[in-house]
A and B are shown apart, each in its own frame.
Chain A
Amino acid sequence: MTRWPPGERIILHVDFDAFFASVEQQRNPQLRGRPVIVGGQSQRGVVSAASYEARSYGVHSAMPMWEARRRCPHAAFLPVDGQAYAEASRRAREILAQFTPRMDPASIDEAYLDVTGSLRLFGGLDNLIARIKGDIRQQLGITISIGVAPNRLVAKIASDWNKPDGITIVHPDELPERLFDLPVDDIPGVGDVTKQKLARMGVHTLGQLAKIPKTLLERHFGSHGGYLWRASRGQDDAPVPWYDPGEDSRKQISREETLAEDTRDLEVLEQRLLALCEEVGWRLRRAGQRARTVTLKVKLSNFKLFTRSETLEEPTELDEVIFERASKLLRRVKFGAQQARLIGVGVSNLSDGAGAGQLSLFDDSRERRSELARARDAIADRFGKSAITRARLVHEQEVSDEDPENDALDEDPLQRL
């Protein structure tokens, strides 16, 4: 490699080649070397990813599925398996993070690495790239394309030039001229609208864009104009942030609903809240997770939004624990002269719990309540969600209050535990 001028960063953009399709080919050897098309299977589905074998038939992502079927009828058509891709992506992130602490997983199938500091440690750029590619191929069985440049913007553009399994290095000395022949929509963030606007100004390539005075671009595009001006020159100062592996635990599960009519009646609100908590709890148990933070959201008639969170002593997957905390938060909402028009509950700070029906090796005081929740889930799964509910929600299902048989349901069975 020619010398990198001191003071210039070395940024890698790592793009996983045909990621979804590659993951599918990796876990099913029979799909290797064959066209694979991943996407929505319904009438109106679109292609999420096409393997390189499928691309040679003109299939590309965002193409309607029927069109893909017409062009490449013998391909393997697979539904999107988000969890498998997320898992593969997580493993890839772990591998990439070993090469530098500055690693930014920008999306499920790409990442930026600032390797300025790591270069010497890994014996230079060529060796570093070989290690990254080798480790990803060995451990995940997929190939990646890498763009190398002094900044994120150019690295991202460059990774696209040599796919699949390619490497493109744009040396700082080659900038900005090396970009000049590119069409303007090669810049991330330039869509059809900007492209057409620029075309009306006679601007089609980055070289032409670079000749437009900055002030003129700012007049036409506002602050976006400054970005276009810098981008056409291959300039981008955005840093690659430190990688934070804890990010996943910040995900949340939430449900909200706009009330049929605005109200400040606590009993009505609590009843809706309980139904929402059951929904959230059910989704938590389904995902085999537990949550530690409960968030209540209330939107008032004047659209003012209240959100309050509280962290539990220990993570839970139980509806009643979520509800207990959320209703406590509800009592703290200051309605003033307003009423509630929307109510919602969310849980976050998620950790792995056991899935529904998982038995424990040791005695566990929590176990009995968990079992009850799981038993309810099992009934709901088999007979539908309306088959089992809490006494408090019963009148929603239009069961007559006079019906003597319902008296037994008046007491919430959970209260007895």
Chain B
Amino acid sequence: MLNVSCTQTELYEAVQTVSHGVSGRSTQPVQNNIYLESTADQLRLVATDLEFISLEAVINASVVDQGAVTVPARLLTDVVGSVGASEISLRANDNSMLTVEAGRSSFLIRGMSAADFEMLPPMEDALEFELTQRDLHSILSQIVFATSRDETRPILTGALFNISPGGLEVVATDTYRLALRRMTAEIPIDEPTSAIISERALNEILRILEPESEEPVRVSLTDSQVSCVVGNVTVGSRLIEGQFPNYEKVLPDSSDRRVTVDREGLTDSLRRMLIVAREDANRIVLRGSDGELTITADSQDVGHAEEQIPATLEGEEPEIAFNARYLLDALQAITQEQVVLELSQPLAPGTLKPLDSDDYLYVIMPMQIM
């Protein structure tokens, strides 16, 4: 039977982290629980909705006896959070009751048998590679927002990872805009492969990554599952099955007008234009001439907004309407100071990318100018 003690701090952090994996809507009540298991010298915590997300944390513990039990996630979080002592002991009995003792407090929590708790199947013959936390954070933060929220098209609620020996290409689209990020990496495979990973799992990974950390993330991938190990936490997910739309055919192959602007300047300006634009589906119009980009927003209900920012224009003078929020999403994800908008016809897609870098592309479909 499970019988361990550990520090309140580590346990609380672990419980908080994995409780995100509980869907709360599972038809099997046991899946709304956190699975606790004592191994030789550690305590392992798992929560999963069996579909998009499986979260596992391992913490140091002094183990008196090995065993496993499951208890309601929220109840455990509240109990562990409420106690004042720095050491906590957990002890399960044959009836899946968990005794939590800390200092002079003691709780007896009604749990459920660990035998009924389902987990994602173990991954066999997985492709494994490493990225730094910083690199993976950089990739995910530049594409996750472009995934679709439309659950009727499940494919688009995930991002496509194209993996080849030389590196990664990650693509997400909600059909109105498409974000693409490339990164070189050494990946031990001979043939390219691909996987579609759900936005839920990606956001969960993003949440635990340290943006500046050089520590490694271990990625494992099979035909049906992915997992990422970050420190003592493992995020797992089933892959989304199906055919990702042929995104390459919508990447614009030519542009006859280029606008180079200061990223922060454009960002600030778009935020101001949104005051008016948001009354009309966030539509803003960009017009370029004489070394300036003019941004306007019009709404029948509220009025008109207009602003000029300095720009380097090449080719024909552009005139095109976009959803300002879509532009802002990408501008906030880019770190370089200068960005380039490559445009062609008013109803053809435009491309936003950092100046002097081909690692990141953001293709955005215009709106009709009204």
Contacts and interface: CB of A to CB of B under 8 A. Distances in A.
Contacts of B274: 84
Interface stretch (A174-182, A320-328, A359-367): A359-367
B175 interface: yes
B12 A28 contact: no
Contact of B12 (A121, A285, A352, A381): A121
Given A27-B271, A315-B150, A357-B370, A364 B175 contact: yes
Nearest to B153: A314
Contact residues of A: prevailing secondary structure: loop
B106 interface: no
A351 B149 contact: yes
B19 A101 contact: yes
A117 B86 contact: no
Interface in A342-360: 351-352, 354-360
What interface size band does chain A fall in? 35 or more
A358 B152 contact: no
A216 to B, nearest CB: 36
Given A83-B278, A351-B150, A355-B323, A361 B81 contact: no
A6 B281 CA distance: 52
Given A120-B9, A120-B86, A361 B150 contact: no
Nearest to A287: B281
A120 B81 CA distance: 9
B16 interface: yes
Interface stretch (B184-192, B227-235, B287-295, B359-367): B359-367
B149 A359 contact: no
A378 interface: yes
A354 B283 CA distance: 11
A314 B149 CA distance: 11
Contacts of B84: 6-7
B8 interface: yes
Interface in B64-96: 74, 77-78, 80-82, 84, 86
A242 B74 contact: yes
A111 B84 CA distance: 24
Interface in A64-98: 81, 83-84
A301 interface: no
A219 interface: no
Contacts of A83: 278
Given A101-B19, A116-B82, A285-B281, A359 B12 contact: no
A41 B323 CA distance: 28
Interface string B163-191: 00000000001011110000000000000
Nearest to B74: A242
A250 interface: no
A288 interface: yes
B321 interface: yes
B367 A359 contact: yes
B299 to A, nearest CB: 9
Nearest to B322: A358
Contacts of B363: 361
B367 A357 contact: yes
A118 interface: yes
Interface residues of B, number: 48
Tell me if B's interface is mostly helix, strand, loop or mixed: mixed
A355 B86 CA distance: 52
B323 A358 contact: yes
A286 interface: yes
Interface string A186-230: 000000000000000000000000000000000000000000000
A313 interface: yes
Contacts of A116: 81-82
Interface in B8-38: 8-9, 12-13, 16, 19
B100 to A, nearest CB: 13
Contacts of B283: 355-357
A288 B279 CA distance: 10
Interface string A1-39: 000001100000000000000000001100000000000
B265 interface: no
Contacts of B271: 27
Contacts of A364: 175
B300 A381 contact: yes
A237 to B, nearest CB: 14
Pick the most buried of A84, A100, A117, A121: most chain B CB atoms within 10 A of its CB.
Answer: A117
Nearest to A352: B149
Contacts of B9: 120-121
Contact of A314 (B150, B275, B278, B365): B150
Interface of A: 6-7, 27-28, 81, 83-84, 100-102, 116-118, 120-121, 242, 285-286, 288, 290, 313-315, 351-352, 354-362, 364, 378, 381-382
30 contacts: A6-B84, A100-B81, A101-B77, A117-B77, A117-B82, A120-B8, A285-B281, A286-B281, A315-B152, A352-B149, A354-B281, A354-B323, A355-B281, A355-B283, A356-B283, A357-B368, A357-B370, A358-B176, A358-B323, A358-B367, A359-B365, A361-B173, A361-B177, A361-B250, A361-B365, A362-B245, A362-B250, A378-B370, A381-B300, A381-B370
Given A7-B84, A355-B367, 16 more contacts: A28-B272, A100-B81, A101-B77, A117-B81, A118-B12, A285-B281, A286-B280, A354-B323, A355-B283, A356-B283, A357-B321, A358-B281, A359-B176, A359-B365, A361-B178, A361-B349
